[in-house]
Amino acid sequence: MTIRVLIADDQMMVREGFSVLLNAQPDIEVAGEAVNGREAIDRTTALRPDVVLMDIRMPEVNGIQATREIVASGSGTRVLVLTTFDLDEYVYEALRAGASGFLLKDASARQLADGVRVVAAGDALLAPAVTRRLIVEFARGTSTPRPPARVRIGELTERETEVLALIAQGLSNAEIAGHLLVAESTIKTHVSRLLVKLGLRDRTQAAIFAYEARLVTPA
């Protein structure tokens, strides 16, 4: 299946560059472009892309608010946020708004295309540099996350809680399986069950939940 992508960025050169890179991929098609957050919301409604590449800083409506509205619409479109500003506040707020992934704009063409594929498949994508900055933000204690009810953590089994903590540390299913010495299929089952129990959409939300619950203590 061809992955249809909407590119939302207020800089024409960025939009054109991403379009060339993604249209060169055999399984990806750029369905449209948007120059601001409001247009990104409207064009997502009209075009129903699989993935929106969303810039953070745009006029009229910024990328965070646009992401929030697109996710809340229930369209099923997933958002991959790209920005040159790897500031902690943007990382945290974009993910909290519902972004399924986060990459910096200096990512290579391969990383960009692979990121689109990962997000379109329903998985979460966090650039390693972004994950590190997110951890540092929590370590500093400068964020003001909403503490989820501890009873929700209590609904998980001991193994599911362990898997959740490892997700928050950025490990893939294969890496978690290797760490716990079990089959990857077993980890997939644990991930699916803990997402259902916690009422979460994907691994990104699971990672945020683990941080907000203080299940993970940054080193």
- Which strands sit side by side in the sheet containing 28-34, from one edge to the other? 28-34, 3-8, 51-55, 78-83, 101-104, 125-126
**155 band by pLDDT with thresholds 50, 70 and 90:** confident
Domain of 54?
3-137
**40 and 110 co-located in one domain:** yes
Q: Do the beta carbons of residue 215 and residue 165 sit within 8 Å?
A: yes
pLDDT at 203: 80
Tokens for 63?
């990328």
Residue 81 is part of a domain; what is its CATH number?
3.40.50.2300
pLDDT at 22: 96
CATH of the domain at 206: 1.10.10.10
Give me the residue label for tokens 């644990």. 190
Whole-number pLDDT of residue 117: 93
Residues 115-126 have a mean pLDDT of 82
- What band does 135 get if pLDDT is binned at 50, 70 and 90? low
Q: How many domains does the chain have?
A: 2
157-193: pLDDT as tens digits: 999 999 999 988 878 888 899 999 999 999 999 999 9
What does pTM read for this prediction?
Answer: 0.74
Return all residues near 23 (Cβ < 8 A) that are at least 6 apart. Answer: 29, 30
13/118 Cα distance (integer angstroms):
25
- The answer on 104 and 172 residing in a single domain is no
* pLDDT value of residue 113: 94
pLDDT of 136: 62
- Residue 128, judged by CB atoms within 10 A of its CB (0-12, 13-18, 19+), counts as exposed
Element containing residue 53 per DSSP (H, E): strand 51-55
Q: Both 8 and 101 in a single domain?
A: yes
- Please report the pLDDT score of residue 131 as a whole number: 62
Assess whether 195 and 127 both reside in one domain: no
